[in-house]
Chains A and B, each alone.
Chain A
């Protein structure tokens, strides 16, 4: 089971108490959406699962994050190995300034794999999984910057898939994309959840409603409500959730 479990998690940036006593269980092979107004801590919370907050000055955290029953904040945990299991797709497409092929092969190369035949195969399967193969198969040597924004984002997903993660974290992956690219990305996420556990931060209520199975509403660093997306959108328990989802604030 690849459950992600947060137990009484608190996060501070210096004096700023960014996450306040959050506990939640994220189920495997589902899409879990984290929603809430800007600054509510949802991105910070997402980045706890692959320890990307470690690079931020003054970051301090208490509590436990368990993946496969291991506390990933245990000092013995190898963060590089963790990040191979827990991949991440960022807000803006961020391909490396190299070729399409090299972008996808990056993760394997840093693990020391250099056999061309194996790399070729992984690059192809990863690009196929990210539904990008047909668009780029004839231009693998071209710069990743020659792709459109939506294609770049799918390339970043292919790059993440290449190292065979179990969990994929997405931090507003569609916020820089046009509507057509966004819908392609959403279809892709729908496909990916068969094989991966997906946690996605989004600002877009409709998007959360369309793609997620579970939704968690964060406000001022607290987890206000967490339930099936259907229930959250139709019959939220808390007034704050209802106000946010119906667009009364945020």
Chain B
């Protein structure tokens, strides 16, 4: 027979678990509820294919594409910065650096991820943008390249750290096999280690993109608030997250169509990151089985 105290503790633990699930469900319900009302006024087709986003103007257009392309553009720039650097760091730490260097540098890199994003935002606006302007003529004060680069720096540790874990998990016996066949270090890294760790590396990339897509502060500060439908990294753009901030801070009346746009935009953001996180989870499970 179990004592009542044990039972109480069990209940409390279960409750905290349910609390997080209910919170998530609550957010989802509100997102869906408000979005459904939004789509009663605006057709899904118009929303997904329209190239103008002007809900706050008198002539209202509800095409999400400018926000979506801005989000993708900044994220892609971030990835272009973070992937080569992050992966190089992971390879260096795992295969070239000695153990002591690795154990010192790895936590230091993770500090990059703990810098408040508002600091990154101002870093992009006040240092990176002027620096880029010194050799890119015509670069606007607000643009997507500068916050993209800074976001890239922010997600480097996600890629380097998770990829390094994946490389570390490759059994030593595979390294032995490769070196034993006369492979060089470089060949061992690129023909054996990276392919063997590929699913782990892909997981790190997906999580990093997902982080970049959801990032708000950096782009809100340095990318501007103009929903331009463009892939030009030199002009101001507005990402989904920036738009949500803009509206939430403004004085848009509740239950108006303008108010509901943020839920529709939030829904898009939620779906993208939800899908990506699940793909990465699925890959992670797949690769944990690989060597069993």
Alpha-carbon distance A90/B173, docked complex (angstroms): 8
- Say whether B181 contacts A94, CB under 8 Å: no
Interface flag for B113 (CB, 8 Å): no
- The B interface is mostly helix, strand or loop, or mixed, namely helix
- Say whether A94 contacts B187, CB under 8 Å: no
Given A97-B290, A106-B191, A110-B187; A83-B177 close (CB under 8 Å)? no
- Say whether B176 contacts A52, CB under 8 Å: yes
Residues of A within 8 A of B99 (CB): 57
B171 to A, closest residue via Cβ:
A94
- Say whether A52 contacts B191, CB under 8 Å: no
Alpha-carbon distance A227/B257, docked complex (angstroms): 93
Question: Which residue in A57, A81, A94, A163 is a CB contact (below 8 Å) of B177?
Answer: A94
B187 to A, closest residue via Cβ:
A110
Q: List 8 A-B contacts (CB under 8 A).
A: A83-B180, A83-B181, A90-B173, A94-B177, A95-B177, A96-B177, A98-B195, A109-B191
Residues of A within 8 A of B179 (CB): 52, 55, 83
A82 to B, closest residue via Cβ:
B182
Alpha-carbon distance A50/B291, docked complex (angstroms): 27
Interface mask (B136-180 → A, CB under 8 Å = 1, otherwise 0): 000000000000000000000000000000000001011111111
- State the Cβ distance, A51 to closest chain B Cβ, in Å: 9
Interface flag for B192 (CB, 8 Å): yes
- Say whether B182 contacts A156, CB under 8 Å: no
- Say whether A83 contacts B176, CB under 8 Å: no
Alpha-carbon distance A55/B177, docked complex (angstroms): 13
7 A-B pairs with the lowest CB-CB distances in the bound complex, closest first: A94-B173, A83-B182, A84-B182, A88-B180, A80-B182, A107-B181, A94-B177
Residues of B within 8 A of A42 (CB): none
- State the Cβ distance, B199 to closest chain A Cβ, in Å: 10
Alpha-carbon distance A106/B195, docked complex (angstroms): 13
Residues of A within 8 A of B191 (CB): 106, 109-110
- Say whether A163 contacts B176, CB under 8 Å: no
B176 to A, closest residue via Cβ:
A90
Interface mask (A203-238 → B, CB under 8 Å = 1, otherwise 0): 000000000000000000000000000000000000
- State the Cβ distance, B247 to closest chain A Cβ, in Å: 49
Question: Which residue in B171, B175, B181, B192 is a CB contact (below 8 Å) of A84?
Answer: B181
Query: Of residues B178, B180, B196, which shows the largest number of chain A Cβ atoms within 10 Å of its Cβ?
Result: B180
Category for how many chain B residues contact A: 20 to 34
Given A83-B179, A107-B182, A110-B187; A97-B195 close (CB under 8 Å)? yes
- Say whether A110 contacts B173, CB under 8 Å: no
- Say whether B192 contacts A96, CB under 8 Å: yes
B 184-222 contacts with A by CB, 8 A: 184, 187, 191-192, 195-196
- State the Cβ distance, B31 to closest chain A Cβ, in Å: 41
- State the Cβ distance, A228 to closest chain B Cβ, in Å: 29
- Say whether B181 contacts A163, CB under 8 Å: yes
Alpha-carbon distance A224/B187, docked complex (angstroms): 40
Interface flag for B183 (CB, 8 Å): yes
B188 to A, closest residue via Cβ:
A110
Interface flag for A30 (CB, 8 Å): no
B191 to A, closest residue via Cβ:
A110
Residues of B within 8 A of A87 (CB): 180-181
Alpha-carbon distance A92/B171, docked complex (angstroms): 11
Interface flag for A126 (CB, 8 Å): no
A 80-129 contacts with B by CB, 8 A: 80-84, 87-88, 90, 92, 94-98, 106-107, 109-111
- Say whether A96 contacts B196, CB under 8 Å: yes
B287 to A, closest residue via Cβ:
A97
Alpha-carbon distance A97/B198, docked complex (angstroms): 11
Given A92-B173, A94-B174, A110-B187; A50-B180 close (CB under 8 Å)? yes
- State the Cβ distance, A142 to closest chain B Cβ, in Å: 15
A 54-80 contacts with B by CB, 8 A: 55, 57, 80
- State the Cβ distance, B287 to closest chain A Cβ, in Å: 10
- Say whether B180 contacts A110, CB under 8 Å: no
- Say whether B195 contacts A90, CB under 8 Å: no
- Say whether B181 contacts A159, CB under 8 Å: yes
- Say whether B174 contacts A80, CB under 8 Å: no
Given A96-B192, A97-B196, A97-B290; A110-B181 close (CB under 8 Å)? yes
- State the Cβ distance, B70 to closest chain A Cβ, in Å: 39
Residues of A within 8 A of B176 (CB): 52, 88, 90, 94
What 14 new A-B contacts, CB under 8 Å, besides A88-B180, A94-B174, A97-B196? A52-B180, A83-B179, A83-B182, A87-B180, A88-B176, A90-B177, A94-B173, A96-B192, A96-B195, A110-B181, A110-B182, A110-B183, A110-B187, A160-B180
Query: Of residues A50, A57, A87, A97, which shows the largest number of chain B Cβ atoms within 10 Å of its Cβ?
Result: A97
Residues of B within 8 A of A106 (CB): 178, 181, 183, 191
